[in-house]
Structure 1
């Protein structure tokens, strides 16, 4: 089955029309054949019955004159002691039945009726020219015990192109109806295709992706409703961003005030503990805001070398004394949001260093996408938890200590950044190593 709506409608309509046209063709052909037989055989039977009636009414001395008078214009009649149709000849029961009925209607009771058809080649009356084939209908009826009326009547040849002309007309009608149906299906499917594309392009940023209302009244109403829904969704997301910005601003100020007040608290161990709690709250607040805004980042996309961006991050970690390496990778250019992408890669590196001692990174192209693979040498993650760790606030390490368990938002932020770039984030346990995180970025811009 075709995948598109227009293709499926065209296929189903085509099959339905094909069956209907085949049935219609068979019925019309059967009726036309019956009509042709009636037009060719009917006059011959009627003429034979007329001659039989004249013979019945004529005195015995005038019967030869009746036979001679009717034996013209492609017909030959004779009275004989035997039928002109042999018993072993290929007879036509239907014609014989019609002949018997016609004779009975004329008041003539025939003892037996026979009919057959032969083909003869005859030259024109002028005696010159090519011989032509003629269909001869031989009719024979026993009028009494000793006399048979035999007739040889030339009947028109059936139209040799009847089936071909009917088939051509049926095919033409089929193509016209199928073509019109396909155009209607395409006209219906085109607005739906535009609707699907607009929904796929919708990112919640900037101007809503609107669809031009067209097509039937039902489709126009659906498209207008979709456009109105897009506007409402964008308005709600804008309101959400404003609310998050206000929350972030309102919470950062009290946290900064608390940090200043904590500096004067004694003893030092208590001051240090309170400072760590404030830092954890500030970091968690920042992670929550980044995750909430990642799908609607206002950062402009830029075409840049992703491999160079990763290499710069690796150098930063190496300068801080971490064992982070970048495998030799080709230059891969992609249209990205640099700050968001850096945040996602940092989260993956931090996650690897938290549960392992070293991290290796590689950048490679996969068709139209670019994949950034971050591999650590830790213990990995149980297979049943690989999908759950991408959920916000889910942590494999059950403690609330940020030093060991974190906030549970790092991988969620990385996945949101990947989806914002039209890609995905996948996790798997590498054989003999640790956890492998693959950040796949969408098609190049």
Structure 2
């Protein structure tokens, strides 16, 4: 009876659970122990945090730190706040309506609109996968000297690795992601200690500075940081994987699930904020301080780290973090692709087929560009992938904010007035900034 109550307001009934093979597969303790319940809900937030520290974010953070020191830390902080709000809405949609965002779109919009949204989402996932490939390829070149073209081919092997962990259970995937995030954290902790940043300027940089808006170039980079922070596939992903928890599907159970899932998400995104901020801080403490104010390329940043810091380990840790970032994003991208395809068109492929399709779409352009243009071409391709993601973002945020603000769909869990105003405000800001970023990028203005 409870499920019917929350089916009000939808055009179609949801007949299949999201990610059915792992739906309600992670047990949640029945007793009232806070820490045990929090541990049971810990995991989805880490998978989401991966999207906020993927290789696509590195270039803007490096550019911001090298050109403007610590000033743009406030932009990363604001972007992270936006992400916390939007991911809260995504997990709430999944818990309350027992639909992921793709299923919700299919059950709300007409078949034509749903089909268009699906195509746009598939393009964005392929673009995201492209960024992951490039990040991993550059890391392999930096660590082992593997040529770009061969690196592209090697990244195809990760399909087998992902399938292995998927067969073991969802907790195994979460553990792998946690281990890779820990690797990234250790690497950047070493880099921060080695770069010896100044504490007071860092604290000052977290406070918004009017100069950010006054200077057209800093404003442009700020838009790049803000506009590319929230990954559209993360909203689909979070609304699905939160349903892997075996909480009671009752109003009380859903309220409990929202509470602990939000804590997990907020803490995980705070970790993502630290890592993104660390990239900018290292860039500011090394490149900006040494007068290298035009560093905006991952490869250039790697070349300059060793001589500036005087340690050969600096470049190794930087490349290792990049490789972990790329592989982590690959894991979450695979799941997002499965969720989107099953949710929008209700067609279920075997995981290896789904992964192969997504990876081939990304590998083909990466291979062509690497052969024709080499290292510089792959960097440009990374920028293009971020533009595609920016275009798609609004098509994910608007339905999410609309659904969670609809009392017929959400019942007593509908967004309150403050959250509703905040969510639509964030949506409008991201939409306008992404349009501005796209417009200027197409015109070649940097």
Give the TM interval when normalised to the shorter protein.
under 0.3
The TM-score normalised by the length of structure 1 is 0.20
Higher relative contact order (CA 8 A, sep 6+): 2
The TM-score normalised by the length of structure 2 is 0.20
If you compute each CA radius of gyration, which structure gives the higher value, 1 or 2? 1
